[in-house]
Structure formats: C-alpha cells, structure tokens
Amino acid sequence: MTTKTLRTGTGLSLRFEPRAALCGLGLILLTLALGTVLVGTGDFPMTPGEVVDTLLGRGTAVQEFAVMELRLPRVLVAILVGGALALGGAVFQSVSRNPLGSPDVIGFGQGATVGALVVIVLFQGSAVATALGAVAGGVVTGAAIYLLAWKRGVHGYRLVLVGIGAAAMLTSVIHYLITKANLVDATRATVWMTGSLDGRDWTQFWPLLAVCCVLVPLVLGHGRALRMLEMGDDAAYALGVKVERTRIVLMASAVLLVAVATSAAGPIVFVSLSAPQLARRLTRAPGPNLAVSAVMGSALLLGADWIAGNAFGDRHLPVGVITGILGGCYLLWLLVSERKAGRL
C-alpha cells in the first residue's frame, strides 16, 4: 500500500497519500512564489525580498502603497478565484464521473455571464450589482441544469449533455444582450466577459474570502463521501453515504463557488476543467483530489496572470485570454484522448 497514516495516542488518525501530500505542498510553495513575483511586477518593480519586507511592514510608503493597495488584493483575489473555480470543477467532474462535466463546459460560466450582462445592459447597474447578477445567474443556471438532468438521481452523461445544451443557449442569450446594448454598455460587457484580474481590490477580496471560508471546508469535509460516490450510488449507499444529500450539498457548494469566483473576476475559462485533471495526473491518486485541485487552480491562475502581463511585451492581456488559449489546447487533447479510450 502506498498510503501512509498519521496517528495520535488518543485514537485520532489521518490517512493520506504521500505523493499527493507532497504535490499539495509543492503547489502551495509555487503559489506563494508566483504570488510574491507578481506583487513585485509592474511599473514600479520590486525584488521578492522587498515584497516580503513590505508585507512585514518594513517597506517605504511608496512600496507600502503599491503592495497593500494595488497588487496584493489582486493576487489574493487570483488565488481565491483560481482555487474556487478548480474546487468547483473537481466536484462536478467527480459527480458526473466525466472530465467534461466541468462548470465551464456545462454552462455555469455562461449563466453567470448572462446574469452580469442583464445587470449591465438592461439596468446599467453598478459593479456590485453586476457581481450580484453574476452570482444569481450562476446559481439559477446550476439549479436549472440540476432539475433538467435529474431523473431519479443525477447521472454523468445527462448532466454533461444537458449542460452543453444549456451553455449553447446561454451563449446566444449573451450575444443577443450585446446587440441590444449601447456602445458604452457593450464595451463594459465585453471587458467583463473576458475575465480579468485588472483593477481587483479589497472590495472583491473580502466577500470572496467570506464565501470560501464557509464553502471550502464544507466541500473538503464531504470529500471522503465523494470518493465513495465515485464507485456508484449503490456501493456508496451500502457504505452508509447519504447519497442524494451529499450530492446536493456538494453541487450547491460548487455552483456557489464558481458563481462567486466568476462574479469577482469574470468568466475565467478552463481553470475548472484543467486544474482537477492536472492535479490528478500529478498525484496519480484515484478520487477527486479536492485539496490538491484547489491549490493547482490558484497556481494555474497566477501563472496565467504572469504570462498575460509579461509575455507580450508592453501589451497587458486579460488573464482570461491566456487561460482560454491554454485550456483550449488542453480541451482538444482531452477530447482526442477520451475518444481514443472509448469514453466519448
């Protein structure tokens, strides 16, 4: 057995895969390193040492301003958004038993976008209203897809097919809304839709942190039950898992995580799709790998953000463009390999 166990004298025990734990730790370090580099990057460059000093309160006033007011909140938002999207993706891929059963493929991103665009185009709403619209759009889409795919339990294929249909319909609604909009609103809508971390500050960070503080432990706490669910409903039931309740709690949490992340940074595509799969290939562990997936999502988004900001000379691209390109290639590869394996 590759699994290791930690035991205390009082009868408590934790079971873990050493490789998965190592991967998780490595990714956390990578995330911290990327975060430090990103905080130091910009018109006013700082070395990682200076960044750390400033974070510890030993920087100059200018450094303090650049780090605490401008760059740190943006990086923290990226970490939470990446983690939330990846965790949501890991849950949905596990529940649907299909790597394509990912929130950005089955329409939640599009649903959140419709919610946000309705607020922007039809009501000329504020940024806060737009964010709330996105959350509402994501949650309504999630509920609708669940109800449409539900037939004595949710089954993987139906969820993916219904979701892809819903995504296509919602995309046309998005285009319709943009044609309805005047030039200013349409520009605002397009910027929102690309998915970007530019200009994110503490007002995006705190609500996001609050939601993650509730939902992340809730999802991780149900991780063991989710592992059992991967063996089929009957087997999980026989082992004493409350099948339908576990699934509803997990899916609702995942929908909320994705919706809130989308409301904070716009629809950043393919993080949900690729992070859990990358985590899985890295850890080589069966099961949903929830925690490692989440950290992978954070690291992925920070890495994409760094590429967006630095790889194209003076042009600073929105991060959504980079994740779109990377994820698109990944999706193609996934489709081809799933087809070869006869699962599609």
Partner 1 sequence: MSDRQQQRLAAESVTLAYEQRVIARDLSVEIPDHSFTVIVGPNACGKSTLLRALSRMLKPTQGRVLLDGQSIHSLPAKKVARTLGLLPQSSLAPDGITVADLVARGRYPHQGLLRQWSPEDERIVRESMESTGVAELADRFVDELSGGQRQRVWIAMALAQQTPLLLLDEPTTYLDIQHQIDVLDLCAELHETQGRTLVAVLHDLNHAARYATHLIAVRGGEVVAEGPPSEVVTAELVERVFGVRCQVIDDPETGTPLVVPAGRQARPRRNAAAQEPAQQPALRK
Binding site for partner 1 (CB under 8 A): 1-3, 5, 7, 11-15, 97, 221, 224, 227-228, 230-232, 234-235, 237-242, 284-287
Least distance from partner 1 to the Cβ atom of residue 1, Å? 5
State which amino acid sits at residue 111. G
Least distance from partner 1 to the Cβ atom of residue 158, Å? 16
Produce one character per residue of 172-205: b if its CB has 16 or more CB atoms within 10 Å, e if not.
ebbeebbeebeeebbebbeebbbbbbbebeeebb
Rank residues 65 and 237 by Cβ distance to partner 1 and give the closer one.
Answer: 237
Least distance from partner 1 to the Cβ atom of residue 10, Å? 10
Rank residues 3 and 172 by Cβ distance to partner 1 and give the closer one.
Answer: 3
Least distance from partner 1 to the Cβ atom of residue 160, Å? 16
Least distance from partner 1 to the Cβ atom of residue 130, Å? 38
Least distance from partner 1 to the Cβ atom of residue 296, Å? 18
Torsion angle (degrees, nearest 10) of CA 179, 180, 183, 187: -70
Rank residues 202 and 237 by Cβ distance to partner 1 and give the closer one.
Answer: 237
291 backbone φψ class: left, alpha, beta (φ>0; ψ -120 to 50): alpha
d(CA 254, CA 226) in angstroms, rounded, equals 13
CB 208 within 8 A of CB 84: yes
DSSP 113-164: HHHHHIIIIIH---HHHHHHHHHHHHHHHHHHHHHHHBSSSB-HHHHHHHHH
Least distance from partner 1 to the Cβ atom of residue 146, Å? 19
State which amino acid sits at residue 325. I
Rank residues 3 and 126 by Cβ distance to partner 1 and give the closer one.
Answer: 3
Rank residues 5 and 182 by Cβ distance to partner 1 and give the closer one.
Answer: 5
CB 158 within 8 A of CB 100: no
- φ, ψ for residue 209 (rounded to 5)? -65, -40
Rank residues 10 and 182 by Cβ distance to partner 1 and give the closer one.
Answer: 10
* Structure token digits, residue 21: 């734990």
State which amino acid sits at residue 130. T
- φ, ψ for residue 184 (rounded to 5)? -65, -50
Produce one character per residue of 328-338: b if its CB has 16 or more CB atoms within 10 Å, e if not.
eebbeebeeee
Least distance from partner 1 to the Cβ atom of residue 340, Å? 15
Rank residues 85 and 243 by Cβ distance to partner 1 and give the closer one.
Answer: 243
Rank residues 234 and 314 by Cβ distance to partner 1 and give the closer one.
Answer: 234
d(CA 251, CA 108) in angstroms, rounded, equals 12
Least distance from partner 1 to the Cβ atom of residue 235, Å? 4
* Structure token digits, residue 121: 């185009």
d(CA 51, CA 270) in angstroms, rounded, equals 30
Rank residues 152 and 315 by Cβ distance to partner 1 and give the closer one.
Answer: 152
